[in-house]
Structure 1
Amino acid sequence: MAQAAGAPRPGAAQPHVFKLVLLGSGSVGKSSLALRYVKDDFRSILPTVGCAFFTKVVDLGAASLKFEIWDTAGQEKYHSVCHLYFRGANAALLVYDITSKESFLKAQQWLRDLERDFSPGEVVVMLVGNKTDLGAEREVTFEEGKEFAESQHLLFMEASAKTNHQVTEVFSAIGWELLRRAEREQRPAPRGDARLALGQGPAGRAKCCAR
């Protein structure tokens, strides 16, 4: 049987399993990002009701991981329910639409919600500006997104689910950071404070801020 793209190699160790939640207001493209990443597909999607669930096993060379992706509803009436899906999360994507300043402000609100449920640095958080294919309608500049992410020690990228621009890179960056943390937790703690900011990628990799 042919090996699926991105699947672990035969005989490889069991993949690390990580829970990833997608957060953001309605119509920013959270479901589209997940669908593009998991199935390499893009189509018009009805608003998520409650939560949708996706899985994907990824081979990153040195190790493999399995993402359990929880895509939360962005409508305000589901906001309080979405907190239930935070539990046990290892990472979160805060998604906004670059053509909507309001969605950018909402992403900041979601970050505050996360901070009430988790200790600082407990989860890997990436800010994602979606819909770069609509650059002519942009209301949030790349610099605005990057500056906010850096001020909060978040990873940051812009992407387009429609054109598949940097979608894989978004999830891969999260994966590398999660694997780096898992590896660090298995090693004896070094002397002094060797913690790294969330925005810093794995050793030997550039910081993840890309258009």
Structure 2
Amino acid sequence: MEADSVWHYQFRIIMLGDSTVGKSSLLKRYAEGVFLESTSQTVGVDFYVHFLEVKPGLCIKLQFWDTAGQERFRSVTRSYYRNSAGGVLMFDLTNRASFESIRKWHQEVMETIKPYHMVFVLVGHKSDLEAERKVGRKEAEKLASSLEAKYIETSAKTSQNVEEAFQILTSEIYEALKSGKMRPNEQWDGVKCKLPPDAQPKVQEEGRKKKCSC
């Protein structure tokens, strides 16, 4: 979907995790369909856009903020937390330290976004390197559960679960909208909607009936 005018909702999503876990590689695979064996470290924040039909007739514009994992850029990346509807908490399955940093990333975001709500998905990346795995699936699933997030393992190199990871997060954000946990408003850029305010509750109600009027 090339035309920017076709979307109904825009969700801002922020990529979170230590440096070198593969945030940029995963986004490039998803948004551009390419895999780069080596990428330069993100300096500050990079931006990506992708369009996804979350259900027939309902197009979501996903606006990604790819944040730098290095501590020296943290003051820059923190400023983007508040205006994000979704967060990808990402670690490297072959790097135990990156997994142990996840709670720190989550806590930092939660302290910043109040009173707004954010939906998370926990992503264990580089699943193609099974022989070098340092984090077990059950352990990662337990952490995800404690953070009220879904868990999925991905590989930008093989494309394993790349689309699925972002589909899960997008669907969870949309469900949060339908349930009222999130609502578009002028003071918050996490979710934008092109539908008029009086039409939004109707769309949400029809969503519960698994219908779409878009």
Q: Same fold (TM over 0.5)?
A: yes
Structure 2 portions without partners, runs of 5+: 181-199, 203-207
- SS of residue paired to 2:91: strand
Contact 2:12 2:63 in 1 (8 A): yes
> Segments of 4+ in structure 1 off by > 4 A?
none
Aligned counterparts of 1:143 and 1:203: Cα–Cα separation in 2 = 34
Question: What is the aligned partner in structure 1 of residue 158 from structure 2?
Answer: 163
Question: What is the aligned partner in structure 1 of residue 23 from structure 2?
Answer: 30
**1:203 shift after superposition:** 9.9
> Counting helix residues as a fraction of each chain, which structure ranks higher?
2
- SS of residue paired to 1:148: helix
Tell me the amino acid that sits aligned with residue 55 of structure 1.
Answer: V
- SS of residue paired to 2:77: helix
Question: What is the aligned partner in structure 1 of residue 46 from structure 2?
Answer: 52
- Residue 95 in 1 paired to residue 90 in 2? yes
**1:184 shift after superposition:** 2.8
State the number of aligned residues: 183
Aligned counterparts of 1:166 and 1:65: Cα–Cα separation in 2 = 19
Contact 1:15 1:57 in 2 (8 A): no
How do residues 9-158 of structure 1 correspond to structure 2 at under 5 angstroms?
14-43=7-36, 44-62=38-56, 63-119=58-114, 122-158=117-153
- Alignment RMSD: 2.3
Structure number with greater CO (CA < 8 Å, separation at least 6) is 2
**1:187 shift after superposition:** 4.5
Q: TM-score by structure 2 length?
A: 0.79
**1:155 shift after superposition:** 1.5
Identity %: 33
Aligned counterparts of 1:147 and 1:130: Cα–Cα separation in 2 = 17
**1:30 shift after superposition:** 0.2
